[in-house]
């Protein structure tokens, strides 16, 4: 079993991004600029946004954080997004999810200018992705592709089973793994909570991508020997054993699945770190005008 080390790979890619960002600054007189909007004070969201801002600084990007409390109206938020869309000094805009119940996340996503949609959630980016056209790929799936590339894992002809059908990870991942590209060229099965014979489906997989959001959902009896396991899950539980007061678990029962796998991502230290890299690469591409 070989560990797919997100820390190692992400640090290497961030050095490459920093070098490109320095060249961009030298040639244009400005830094690539990412703006994030955070609504409310959800603990997980606070952590994710802080990490994104810190990583921007690390690679030489400018970053801005716009904060609102939970009482912000949908209209106010959408107006702010339109204002940032019009700001030529901003290359990428992300709105951290989840949002309060009175704000429609679909409206928010569709209001973001698709040319600044570095999270890759806009219908135009998703549509272009399906057609294998240049676009912003959703950050987590993009990070997974970069991880597979870094370890020179040949996915061609393999059976990939994706567990979870969210618009953020599962559905785009299934499309990307089926595309005529590398990584890609897989036969893909997209499964979810309503799949009847889920265990049997996962047992057939050469590559399992677990993104269902349930702690230790994928168990050893669901995985065939030698499978490649990509664990997207980040499930937080309160814990007295850690300084932060919580512990992170993946969607895969790592302890029992790892001995059967040929490759596996840990949680933490796996896909989460690669998601940030996907976001940074999208922001740099936006600044350089490489996609739109």
pLDDT digits (tens, 9 = 90+) for 67-111: 999 999 999 999 999 999 999 999 999 999 999 999 999 999 999
In tens digits, the chain (292 residues) has pLDDT values of 999 999 999 999 999 999 999 999 999 999 999 999 999 988 888 888 999 999 999 999 999 999 999 999 999 999 999 999 999 999 999 999 999 999 999 999 999 999 999 999 999 999 999 999 999 999 999 999 999 999 999 999 999 999 999 999 999 999 999 999 999 999 999 999 899 999 999 999 999 999 999 999 999 999 999 999 999 999 888 887 788 778 889 999 999 999 999 999 999 999 999 999 999 999 999 999 999 9
Check whether the bond before 253 is cis (ω within 30° of 0): no
CA 137 remoteness from chain centre: 9
Catalytic option among 96, 117, 253, 281: 96
**Active site includes 221?**
no
Alpha-carbon distance of 291 to 117, in angstroms, equals: 11
User: Which one of the listed residues 117, 119, 231, 251 is annotated catalytic?
Assistant: 119
Q: Which domains does the chain have, with CATH numbers?
A: 27-114 (3.40.50.10860), 139-273 (3.40.50.720)
Give the per-residue pLDDT at 4. 98
Question: Which pLDDT score, from 0 to 100, does residue 42 have?
Answer: 84
**Angstrom distance (rounded) from CA 219 to CA 91:** 41
Closest CA to 165 of 190, 189, 198, 140: 190
Element (H, E) at 36: strand 33-39
CA-to-CA distance for 136 and 260, rounded, in angstroms?
Answer: 34
Residues in a beta bridge with 94:
36
Flag whether the pTM goes above 0.85.
yes
Give the three-class secondary structure for 236: strand
* Cβ atoms within 10 Å of 187's Cβ, excluding its own: 13
Parallel/antiparallel/unpaired status of strands 235-238 and 246-249: antiparallel
Contact 254, 263 (CB under 8 A): no
Whether 149 sits among the annotated catalytic residues: the reply is no
119 is annotated as an active-site residue: yes
pLDDT value of residue 263: 98
Residues 6+ apart with CB under 8 A from 61: 21, 31, 32, 33, 34, 280, 283, 284
CA neighbor of 201 nearest in space, from 169, 235, 164:
164
**End-to-end Cα separation, the chain, in angstroms:** 41
Active-site entry in 14, 52, 116, 158: 52
Would you state the pLDDT for residue 242? 80
- From 61, 70, 67, 76, select the one nearest 31 (Cα to Cα): 61
pLDDT at 107: 97
Helix (H) or strand (E) holding 263: strand 263-264
Which residues 6+ apart lie within 8 Å of 209 measured at CB? 144, 160, 161, 162, 163, 170, 173, 177, 230, 232
Task: Give the pLDDT confidence score for residue 208 in this predicted structure.
Answer: 98
pLDDT of residue 237: 84
Tell me which DSSP letter residue 149 carries.
H
Token readout for 60 is 């030489």
């Amino acid at each position: 079993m070989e560990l797919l080390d997100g820390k190692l790979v992400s640090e290497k890619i961030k050095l490459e991004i920093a070098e490109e960002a320095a060249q961009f600054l030298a040639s244009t007189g400005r830094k690539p600029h990412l703006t994030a909007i955070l609504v409310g004070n959800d603990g997980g969201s606070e952590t994710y946004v802080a990490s994104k801002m810190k990583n921007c600084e690390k690679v030489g990007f400018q970053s801005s954080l716009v904060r609102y409390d939970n009482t912000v109206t949908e209209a106010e938020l959408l107006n702010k997004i339109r204002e940032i869309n019009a700001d030529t000094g901003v290359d990428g805009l992300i709105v951290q999810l989840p949002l309060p119940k009175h704000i429609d996340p679909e409206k928010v996503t569709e209001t973001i200018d698709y040319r600044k949609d570095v999270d890759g959630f806009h219908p135009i980016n998703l549509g272009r992705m399906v057609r294998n056209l240049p676009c912003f790929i959703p950050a987590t799936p993009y990070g997974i592709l970069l991880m597979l590339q870094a370890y020179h894992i040949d996915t061609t002809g393999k059976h990939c089973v994706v567990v979870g059908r969210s618009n953020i990870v599962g559905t785009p991942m299934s499309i990307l793994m089926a595309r005529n590209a590398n990584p890609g060229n897989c036969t893909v099965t997209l499964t979810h909570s309503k799949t009847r014979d889920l265990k049997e489906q996962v047992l057939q997989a050469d590559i399992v991508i677990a993104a269902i959001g349930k702690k230790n959902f994928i168990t050893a009896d669901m995985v065939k020997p030698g499978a490649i396991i990509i664990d997207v899950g980040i499930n937080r539980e309160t814990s007295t054993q850690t300084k932060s007061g919580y512990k992170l678990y993946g969607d895969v029962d790592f302890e029992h699945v790892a001995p059967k796998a040929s490759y596996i991502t840990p949680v933490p230290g796996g896909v989460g770190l690669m998601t940030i890299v996907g976001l940074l690469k999208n922001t740099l591409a936006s600044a350089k005008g490489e996609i739109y």
